[in-house]
Amino acid sequence: TYILQNADLVRKETAHLHIDDRGYYFGDGIYEVIRVYEGVPFAKEAHLNRLEESSAKIDMTLPYSGQELIDLLDKLIAANELVNGLVYLQVTRGIEPRNHLYTKNCKPVLTAFTQPLPKKAAAPSAAVHVWLTDDIRWLRCDIKTINLLGNIIAKKEAADQQCQEAIMQRDGFITEGSSSNLFLVKDKVLYTHPATNLILNGITRQVVIDLAKQNGYEVVEEPFPVDVLEHADEAFLTSTTMEIAAISQIKGQLSTSYVPGPVTKDLQEKFRQLLPQK
Ligand code: PLP
């Protein structure tokens, strides 16, 4: 398989990383994960806009324009003959001898690879169990940084408890999942944390909010306290890789369970209809 190193397609086995890449020393970089359905990258403009925003937020200039990035992704997808799967794309600040302070000369480095995945939306996977834990992350969760230690610690805690995902709370309010956004449904109204500095504004989250509104659902973007989980009718997660995943059980700081309900199922079906069909 091929990966992209800047604008070059390189065989993965022969690719080399530079030891002085700031991504390696500091996690000084940003990334995107874009789903590919039937060879077509899904919501690519939204992902590339968010990459551009993340880049601006860390005082970095992307090495390629939006159109150049689209062309590079197409080249990678074609080289790997990817039909259904994902593209992972990261940009680190560049290569310099290790020093917290970077210089103007640092040239960002792009790396991208593809990974095949089953087309899940065709048949939504079983409902997931989630683990409720503290949100120990920093205060710029809106930046899609490759620095993911807080998320990794939460995910491992969840896995140790036989849960597929961790959901997190900060000061008693639910923020999001370790690699997903959380929605609750009560009396057909959707509730999710607003897109502030405390969460990553997921592209799937945005697609689902638009879909829900177009289909007559009310969507409330407000922080809600942990105990609201116990009163919801339905709960689901959204992410590029999980798409829309119903939650059947919450464990950890609070225990409750849900039966995957009509609103989740309706949105899963509407989401499926957005995807390129064979
Ligand atoms: N929140 C976090 C912390 C994430 O890491 C992710 C995706 O990896 C998401 C939310 C969901 O974002 P998206 O729908 O753009 O994949």
Q: What is the pLDDT along the chain (278 residues), one digit of tens a residue?
A: 999 999 999 999 999 999 999 999 999 999 999 999 999 999 999 999 999 999 999 999 999 999 999 999 999 999 999 999 999 999 999 999 999 999 999 999 999 999 999 876 556 668 999 999 999 999 999 999 999 999 999 999 999 999 999 999 999 999 999 999 999 999 999 999 999 999 999 999 999 999 999 999 999 999 999 999 999 999 999 999 999 999 999 999 999 999 989 999 999 999 999 998 77
- Pair (263, 151) in one structural domain: yes
- Pair (132, 243) in one structural domain: yes
Which of ligand 1's atoms lies nearest the C-alpha of 205? 14
Substitution candidate for ligand 1 out of 88, 181, 271 with most atoms within 8 A of CB:
181
Residue 72 lies in a domain: yes
Give every CB contact of residue 68 below 8 A, 6+ residues apart in sequence.
7
Residue 123 lies in a domain: no
Q: What distance in Å separates the CA atoms of residue 135 and residue 223, rounded to the nearest whole number?
A: 14
Could you tell me the two tokens for 262?
């009509």
User: From edge to edge, which strands make up the β-sheet containing 109-116?
Assistant: 8-11, 2-5, 109-116, 85-92, 29-37, 40-41
Residue that finishes a domain, picked among 85, 117, 149: 117
CB-CB contact of 140 with 53 (8 Å) = no
Whole-model pTM above 0.80?
Answer: yes
Q: How far is the CA of 46 from the centre of ligand 1 (A)?
A: 13
- Dihedral in degrees, nearest 10, Cα atoms 248, 144, 52, 72: -80
Domain residues for the domain of 92 are 2-117
CATH number for the domain spanning 112: value is 3.30.470.10
Q: What distance in Å separates the CA atoms of residue 263 and residue 208, rounded to the nearest whole number?
A: 12
Please tell me which residue in 200, 211, 229, 267 is annotated as part of the active site. Answer: 200
- Pair (137, 207) in one structural domain: yes
- Structure confidence at residue 123 (pLDDT): 61
Question: E strands, 12-119, where?
Answer: 29-37, 40-41, 85-92, 109-116
Residue 113 lies in a domain: yes
- Pair (154, 205) in one structural domain: yes
Please tell me which residue in 2, 4, 31, 110 is annotated as part of the active site. Answer: 31
Measure the CA angle with vertex 195, ends 261 and 36; round to 5°. 65
Q: Give the number of C-alpha atoms closer than 13 A to the C-alpha of residue 195, restricted to the C-beta side.
A: 12
CB-CB contact of 181 with 204 (8 Å) = yes
Residue 120 among the catalytic residues:
no
- Structure confidence at residue 278 (pLDDT): 73
Residue 110 lies in a domain: yes
User: How high is the ipTM of this complex?
Assistant: 0.99
Residue that finishes a domain, picked among 82, 117, 152: 117
- Structure confidence at residue 165 (pLDDT): 98
- Structure confidence at residue 120 (pLDDT): 64
Which of ligand 1's atoms lies nearest the C-alpha of 33? 16
- Pair (48, 177) in one structural domain: no
Please tell me which residue in 32, 96, 176, 234 is annotated as part of the active site. Answer: 176
CA end-to-end span of the chain: 24
- Structure confidence at residue 206 (pLDDT): 98
Residue 122 lies in a domain: no
CB-CB contact of 106 with 95 (8 Å) = yes
- Pair (140, 214) in one structural domain: yes
- Pair (134, 265) in one structural domain: yes
Measure the CA angle with vertex 47, ends 143 and 96; round to 5°. 55
- Structure confidence at residue 126 (pLDDT): 83
- Structure confidence at residue 124 (pLDDT): 65
Q: Could you give the number of structural domains in the chain?
A: 2
Give every CB contact of residue 233 below 8 A, 6+ residues apart in sequence.
185, 186, 187, 258, 261, 263
Residue 176 among the catalytic residues:
yes
Q: Give the number of C-alpha atoms closer than 13 A to the C-alpha of residue 84, restricted to the C-beta side.
A: 12
Q: Pocket around ligand 1: residues whose beta carbon is below 6 Å from it? A: 33, 151, 176, 179-181, 200, 202-205, 238-240
- Pair (222, 180) in one structural domain: yes
Residue that finishes a domain, picked among 117, 137, 162: 117
Please name the helix (run of DSSP H) or strand (run of DSSP E) that holds residue 69, with its range, or none: helix 66-79
- Pair (150, 104) in one structural domain: no
CATH number for the domain spanning 141: value is 3.20.10.10
CB atoms within 10 A of CB 105: 8
Q: Tell me the three state secondary structure of residue 124.
A: coil
Substitution candidate for ligand 1 out of 152, 209, 239 with most atoms within 8 A of CB:
239
- Pair (132, 113) in one structural domain: no
- Pair (77, 192) in one structural domain: no
Give every CB contact of residue 53 below 8 A, 6+ residues apart in sequence.
none
- Pair (24, 99) in one structural domain: yes
